[in-house]
Structure 1
Amino acid sequence: MSGRESSIDTIQRELTAFARRARHKASQLHPDLSLVTYSILDLMNERGGCRAADVASYFMLDKSTVSRQVGALEKLGLLVRETDPDDQRGQILRPTEAGLTLLREAAEQRRLSFTERFTDWDDEDVARFADYLARYGAAD
């Protein structure tokens, strides 16, 4: 195995472990919240509300999957459906105050976790890592 192949294997392994940790952290925020439902709620907040079709497109999910996740968030009191002012047939999904509180608490927990993780990294290493992650994400 070449050095590049070995590095790609390491990247795959580490990103998989990162995703597993993220799923676990999401379940710690709320026992009924999966990483998918948390991510959907976060996207709604980031965009100031959005349609279910936008969520499906963004995450490349089937509409039925999004519908189930949205239903779960609604049942938990974390999101509300509002009539789309531009299309009375459509709905805009927005986090409720409880959803916003959960997102704020989660953001603070993530910030603390990342800050702790990077304690031994110098500023240049953190900046370089951020650039690499942005570059990797831009490929999509």
Structure 2
Amino acid sequence: MENLFSIIEREIAIFGRRAEAIRIAYLNHKEIDRSTYLLLRLLLDEGPLAIKSLADALHLDISTASRQTAALEGKGFVERLSDPSDARVKLLQITELGQNQLHAFVVSRQEFYAKLLEDWNEEECRQFGESLARFNRTIEERRLEREKSE
């Protein structure tokens, strides 16, 4: 009999690979990849943020966050504005174009997953979503615990 955690480890590895492959093959929004989605979603949910806050929230180094946000700025998805409390600090804010692109992407993904899981009943989908959310919270809690202990 296979060890329970062996199954989980293997299935998470397969999930990561297949989720990216299916995103590339079936989702139409080629301008929005995972990092773009996460950056835009964070700006939409949290409002304007400084680059350091963005980097910290997404566990990126500042140079990576700067590169990614510069690309989004070039596409017109985000814009820079001065922090009202300190004009030396620049904040990033999602633009209307960015919001529209993000909304279309989210709707497309939701439709895709609804079709993919059409054979699952509502309760199975709810349980799966809740389990994924709990799993993600656990990962973040463990990461923060480890950070504090170092």
The interval holding the TM-score normalised by the smaller chain is 0.7 to 0.9
For structure 2, list consecutive stretches of 5 or more residues without a partner in the other structure. 141-150
Matched residue, 2:35: 36
Aligned amino acid, residue 42 of structure 1: R
Give the whole-Å Cα distance in 1 for the aligned partners of 2:94 and 2:122.
34
Give the whole-Å Cα distance in 2 for the aligned partners of 1:125 and 1:108.
21
Matched residue, 1:2: 2
Q: Higher relative CO (CA 8 A, sep ≥ 6), structure 1 or 2?
A: 2
Which has the larger displacement, 67-76 or 6-15? 6-15
TM-score under structure 2 length normalisation = 0.81
Give the whole-Å Cα distance in 2 for the aligned partners of 1:35 and 1:106.
11
CA deviations on 1:15-45 (whole Å, 9 max, x unpaired) are 32255247627x84144x4321232122111
Give 3-state SS (helix, strand or coil) of 1:121's partner: coil
Deviation at 1:3, TM superposition (A): 2.8
TM-score under structure 1 length normalisation = 0.86
Cα contact 1:80–1:95 (8 A) shared by 2: yes
Aligned amino acid, residue 10 of structure 2: T
Seq. identity, %:
29
For structure 1, list consecutive stretches of 5 or more residues without a partner in the other structure. none
Matched residue, 1:122: 121
Aligned amino acid, residue 77 of structure 2: L
Alignment: residue pair count: 139
TM alignment of 1:1-140, pairs within 5 A = 2-21=2-21, 24=24, 28-31=28-31, 33-139=32-138, 140=140
- Computed over aligned residues only, the root mean square deviation of the Cα atoms, in angstroms, reads 2.3
Runs of 4+ residues over 6 Å off in structure 1: none
Give the whole-Å Cα distance in 2 for the aligned partners of 1:64 and 1:22.
29
Aligned amino acid, residue 6 of structure 1: S
